[in-house]
Amino acid sequence: MTTAQTDWFDTPVPPVAEDVMYVDVNGYEGPLDLLLDLARRQKVDLASISVLALAEQYLAFIETVREKRIEVAADYLVMAAWLAYLKSRLMVPQAPSDDEPSGEMLAAMLQFRLKRLEAMRQSASQLMNRPRLGFQVYARGMPEPIEIARKSLWEASLYGLLKAYSSQRERGVATDYSPHLRTVWSLQDARDILQRLIGDSFDWVPMDTYLAEYLASPTERATVRASSFASSLELVRLGHIELKQTETFGPLLMRRNPDRKP
Amino acid sequence: MIAPDEMPTERSEIAERNLRVLEALLFASSEPLSASQMATYLGEGANVTALLMTLQQRYAPRGVNLVRRADKWAFRTAEDLGFLLRREEQETRPLSRAALETLSIIAYHQPATRAEIEEVRGVATGKGTIDLLMEAGWVRMRGRRRTPGRPVTYGTTDGFLDHFGLESLGDLPGLDELKGSGLLSNRLPPSMQIPLPFEGALRDDEDPLDPDDLDGADEPEEEHE
Amino acid sequence: MIAPDEMPTERSEIAERNLRVLEALLFASSEPLSASQMATYLGEGANVTALLMTLQQRYAPRGVNLVRRADKWAFRTAEDLGFLLRREEQETRPLSRAALETLSIIAYHQPATRAEIEEVRGVATGKGTIDLLMEAGWVRMRGRRRTPGRPVTYGTTDGFLDHFGLESLGDLPGLDELKGSGLLSNRLPPSMQIPLPFEGALRDDEDPLDPDDLDGADEPEEEHE
């Protein structure tokens, strides 16, 4: 059911009775709304409306609408059925054995519901006519909310500042870069040298003794030792030489593998 | 003119300072503040309510008044000056008739379930209507009715009171008359007791909301047929 | 206590009503209002300035004061109660590397344009970085370089000296000191110079800032390619 967007407080002037049939059923907010509108046309206090007449008008209205083959929502038909029943209860005197609510009771219930709906509409309009916030009454225009102001305080030290400046200036300067050349024994070199030094010696001789000549240079010592040791392991694997160490951190002894003929 | 303070006990310097603090707090805030919220800013043992009453009295004749909204307080422009202040309206969409009716039914009948709202209106209420009222900050889910289906019950908010300038639900226009005529009942007049808009936390027949209710604020559709 | 009104001529009912109107206007307005803006809401022949003075006097001892900002008026919570409304949580955050670099370049090379900063840094400097330094109170716009495009020149503030414990820009260590402290390597080419920061008001090649520059503090983007 769509909502009538017009200002409903100005209840539309009730059309003349004959015009009722032309009223768009969709203009109503449900059967109760339609009934209320019909009741208002009786131009009497809701307390003294003729419920019977109201029921007849409603049924007539629904009838005309249906004749025009206008789809009528189910609620309207339910209400029509209920009103037809109400009508029959009102016209037939109640039998004493009848447990059902009397026609008067049902009529009173309908009347009550109409009055209540009307009352709620009046209340809504009274509410809207009150001085409303933002319309007639105003709140603080410039609120000064209690707020937790998270103020970031930047932190920087003079050292950081100078460091930042210096490193940028250095970054900008084109410096000649000459890579520092280091002598490195390749594994192949080490292997050749070891092979040559060990020669055909079958005596256990410390590795350092073989390499004494090369180890004299401090810059080369590390690379000579490392590469020679690595190469010696390779030579052992190939079965060319044997290696032994008699104690932890003791000298590394090596000799030609006696089982292998050169 | 601000009325001279009539409570000699409150005239002390401390009270005067407390009044200044309240003024500043209330003035600065666009939202109503509760007495307990403000009490934290006052000295020990300050009678916040008495101070607020004093302040209310002082501002009563001014262009800005101290008003009470449920248990909260706020400064608001005086109602009689509204016509002067009328702003170039921030385009406000008028509430639809359905929304307006639904709002007043919730206000007067609360706690009300959707089925009850529909009973009064005689028509199904789209879920969107109640959502819209909740979005406007006027309606809230209160709890669940202790009946089969445990339907959600709706009530109004403090924002509703503030918007419509009501101190409490007891100030709803025409409430006494409606009570007297029995129109706030769900039943036929003869047999009825008259429920009033219920202001408390939960009525006897209400359960608190389920934890999920508050998340999505989505009422399960089953409840409604 | 509100001071008794001392101008008998203003005590009339009309004046009182006008005062109420002013109160409401000033309270509800979202920005300060000028006397002439408010005058339209008052009766004919009302002396707005006198009324505002009266109002200011009345509110002077209150928790809310009527203050004047340039030629406009606004209610503000009393300054001595400001602490109630402000819960400042200061968090100290280290300056980003980009900001630190930019700051140091501005310090040494001032007056420096953004293009010059970028030349030293070798990367584009976001406007945000300079904004942040200005917000921190360490960098300011000094003027505009007298070259095509008239780029804004930046320099440091007194706050900068204060924060870094420098008496004057001359205290910034020079090339030799930087080398001596190991911050600059000794392998730098002898051609490298470190500029002497310029301390005066405007250098020969600088124009004063345009009047607009200080408002938006928005440097036109064209300047920067």
Q: Write the DSSP assignment of chain C as a string of letters.
A: -PPPP--GGGGSHHHHHHHHHHHHHHHH-SS-EEHHHHHTTSPTT--HHHHHHHHHHHHTTSSEEEEEETTEEEEEE-GGGHHHHEEEEEEEEEPPHHHHHHHHHHHHH-SEEHHHHHHHHSSPPPHHHHHHHHHTTSEEEEEEESSTT-PEEEEE-HHHHHHHT-SSGGGS--HHHHHHTTSS-TTS-TT---PPPP-SS--TTEEPPPTTHHHH-PPPGGG--
Question: Which residues of chain A does B130 touch, with a Cβ-Cβ cutoff of 8 Å?
Answer: none
Greatest mean pLDDT among A157-161, B6-10, B130-134, B217-221: B130-134
Task: Using the Cα atoms of residue B183, residue B185, residue B191 and residue B193 in order, give the sign of their dihedral.
Answer: negative
Say whether the peptide bond before residue C111 is cis (omega within 30 degrees of 0): yes
Q: Are strands C33-34 and C72-77 parallel, antiparallel or unpaired?
A: antiparallel
B65-81 pLDDT per residue, tens: 999 988 899 999 998 88
Report which of residues A142 and C148 the model is more confident about.
Answer: C148
Shortest Cα–Cα distance, B212 to chain A (Å)? 30
* Best residue in A157, A169, A173, A176 for a mutation probing chain C (most C CBs within 10 Å): A169
pLDDT of residue A170: 78
In the β-sheet with A252-256, what is the strand arrangement from edge to edge?
Answer: A205-206, A252-256, A241-245
Q: What is the dihedral of CA C71, C76, C81, C85, to 10 degrees?
A: -130
Cα angle C99-C104-C110, degrees, rounded to a multiple of 5: 115
Determine the Cα–Cα distance for residues C144 and A77; give it in Å rounded to an integer: 83
Greatest mean pLDDT among C45-49, C120-124, C214-218: C45-49
Q: Is the pLDDT of residue A14 over 50?
A: no
Mean pLDDT of B101-128: 88
pLDDT of residue B64: 93
Mean pLDDT of B139-156: 89
Give B221's pLDDT tier (boundaries 50, 70, 90).
Answer: very low
Residue B99: closest CA among chain A residues belongs to which residue?
A: A3
Identify which of A53, A52, A64, A51 has the alpha carbon closest to the alpha carbon of residue A20.
Answer: A64
pLDDT of residue A173: 67
Question: Which residues of chain C does B63 touch, with a Cβ-Cβ cutoff of 8 Å?
Answer: 19-25, 27
Give A102's pLDDT tier (boundaries 50, 70, 90).
Answer: confident
Determine the Cα–Cα distance for residues C210 and C144; give it in Å rounded to an integer: 8
pLDDT of residue A3: 39
Mean pLDDT of A160-178: 74
* Residue where the block lists tokens 């970031």: A152
Residues for chain C: how many in total? 225
Q: What is the ipTM of this complex?
A: 0.56
Using CB atoms within 10 A of its CB, is residue C186 exposed (0-12), middle (13-18) or buried (19+)?
exposed
Cβ(A100)–Cβ(A86) below 8 Å: no
pLDDT of residue C68: 87
Give B224's pLDDT tier (boundaries 50, 70, 90).
Answer: very low
Q: What percent of chain A has pLDDT over 90?
A: 3
Residue A135: closest CA among chain B residues belongs to which residue?
A: B86
Cβ(C114)–Cβ(C224) below 8 Å: yes
Other residues' Cβ atoms within 10 Å of the Cβ of residue C82: 13
Give C57's pLDDT tier (boundaries 50, 70, 90).
Answer: very high
Identify which of A160, A171, A177 has the alpha carbon closest to the alpha carbon of residue C119.
Answer: A171
Question: Which residues of chain C does A180 touch, with a Cβ-Cβ cutoff of 8 Å?
Answer: none
Q: Is the pLDDT of residue B157 over 50?
A: yes
Identify which of A158, A155, A154 has the alpha carbon closest to the alpha carbon of residue C166.
Answer: A158
- Poorest-pLDDT segment among A60-69, A225-234, B212-221, C102-111: B212-221
Mean pLDDT of C95-117: 88
Burial B48-58 (b: 16+ CB within 10 A, else e): beebbebbebb
Q: Are strands A147-155 and C86-94 parallel, antiparallel or unpaired?
A: parallel
Using CB atoms within 10 A of its CB, is residue B211 exposed (0-12), middle (13-18) or buried (19+)?
exposed
H or E segment at B180? helix B175-181
Give A22's pLDDT tier (boundaries 50, 70, 90).
Answer: very low
Give B85's pLDDT tier (boundaries 50, 70, 90).
Answer: confident
User: Going by C-beta distance under 8 Å and a sequence separation of 6 or more, which residues neighbour residue B178?
Assistant: A119, A123, B108, B184
Backbone angles phi, psi at B36, to 5 degrees: -70, -35
Q: Three-state DSSP class for A255?
A: strand
| Tokens encoding A52 | 């019977």
Determine the Cα–Cα distance for residues C84 and A65; give it in Å rounded to an integer: 68
| Tokens encoding C40 | 């339209």
pLDDT of residue C224: 42
Mean pLDDT of A26-45: 81
Give B192's pLDDT tier (boundaries 50, 70, 90).
Answer: very low
Mean pLDDT of C114-119: 88
C71 Rama sector, left if φ>0, alpha if ψ -120 to 50, beta otherwise: alpha
* Residue where the block lists tokens 């709140």: A139
Mean pLDDT of C31-53: 88
Identify which of A86, A88, A127 has the alpha carbon closest to the alpha carbon of residue A107.
Answer: A86
Nearest to A30 among B82, B108, B121 (CB): B121
Identify which of A151, A148, A165, A149 has the alpha carbon closest to the alpha carbon of residue C93.
Answer: A151
pLDDT of residue C89: 59
pLDDT of residue C51: 93
Mean pLDDT of A114-123: 91
Q: Is the pLDDT of residue B90 over 60?
A: no
Q: Is the pLDDT of residue C157 over 60?
A: yes
Output the CA–CA distances (angstroms, integers) from residue C69 to A139, B142, C32, C77, C217, in the order listed: 22, 47, 8, 14, 21
Given CB atoms, is C190 within the 8 Å cutoff of chain A?
A: no
Q: Is the pLDDT of residue C30 over 80?
A: yes
CA B88 to centroid of chain Cα atoms? 27
Mean pLDDT of B198-207: 78
Determine the Cα–Cα distance for residues B201 and A157; give it in Å rounded to an integer: 57
pLDDT of residue B190: 43
Report which of residues A200 and C3 the model is more confident about.
Answer: A200
The number of CA neighbours under 13 Å toward the Cβ of A48 is 3
Please name the fold of domain A187-256.
Arc Repressor Mutant, subunit A (1.10.10)
Beta bridge partners of B206: B145
Give C221's pLDDT tier (boundaries 50, 70, 90).
Answer: very low
Q: How much helix, strand and coil, in percent to the nearest 5, is found in chain B?
A: 45, 15, 40
User: Going by C-beta distance under 8 Å and a sequence separation of 6 or more, which residues neighbour residue A118?
Assistant: A36, A46
H or E segment at A242? strand A241-245
Give B55's pLDDT tier (boundaries 50, 70, 90).
Answer: very high
pLDDT of residue B154: 92
Question: Which residues of chain A does C97 touch, with a Cβ-Cβ cutoff of 8 Å?
Answer: 164
pLDDT of residue C225: 38
Mean pLDDT for chain C overall: 81
Other residues' Cβ atoms within 10 Å of the Cβ of residue A161: 23
Q: Three-state DSSP class for B7?
A: coil
Q: Three-state DSSP class for A117?
A: helix
Mean pLDDT for chain A overall: 77
Determine the Cα–Cα distance for residues C49 and C71; give it in Å rounded to an integer: 11
Q: Three-state DSSP class for B209?
A: coil
Question: Which residues of chain C does B41 touch, with a Cβ-Cβ cutoff of 8 Å?
Answer: 84
Question: Which residues of chain B does C3 touch, with a Cβ-Cβ cutoff of 8 Å?
Answer: none
Q: Between A31-41 and A51-67, two packed helices, what is the crossing angle to 10 degrees?
A: 120
H or E segment at B142? strand B139-145
Nearest to B183 among A33, A116, A138 (CB): A116
Determine the Cα–Cα distance for residues C155 and B41; give it in Å rounded to an integer: 44
Residues 2-21 of B with CB under 8 A from C: 2, 4-5, 16, 19-21
Query: B124–A75: do the CB atoms touch at under 8 Å?
Result: yes
Residues 75-134 of B with CB under 8 A from A: 75-77, 79, 82-83, 85-87, 90, 92, 94-98, 100-101, 103-105, 107-108, 120-124
* Residue where the block lists tokens 């959502």: B131
* Amino acid sitting at position C81: L
Q: Is the pLDDT of residue A148 over 70?
A: no
C164-211 pLDDT per residue, tens: 877 888 888 887 788 777 777 777 777 777 788 888 788 888 888 887
Using CB atoms within 10 A of its CB, is residue A100 exposed (0-12), middle (13-18) or buried (19+)?
exposed
Residues for chain A: how many in total? 262
Q: Is the pLDDT of residue B222 over 50?
A: no
Mean pLDDT of B45-56: 92
Say whether the peptide bond before residue B111 is cis (omega within 30 degrees of 0): yes
A104-113 pLDDT per residue, tens: 888 888 888 8
User: So where are chain A's domains?
Assistant: 31-92+102-128, 187-256
Determine the Cα–Cα distance for residues C170 and C199; give it in Å rounded to an integer: 8
Query: C91–A139: do the CB atoms touch at under 8 Å?
Result: no
pLDDT of residue B155: 93
The chains found to touch C (3+ Cβ pairs under 8 angstroms) are A, B
Query: C92–A147: do the CB atoms touch at under 8 Å?
Result: no
Structure pTM? Answer: 0.55
Give C22's pLDDT tier (boundaries 50, 70, 90).
Answer: very high
Determine the Cα–Cα distance for residues B184 and B120; give it in Å rounded to an integer: 10
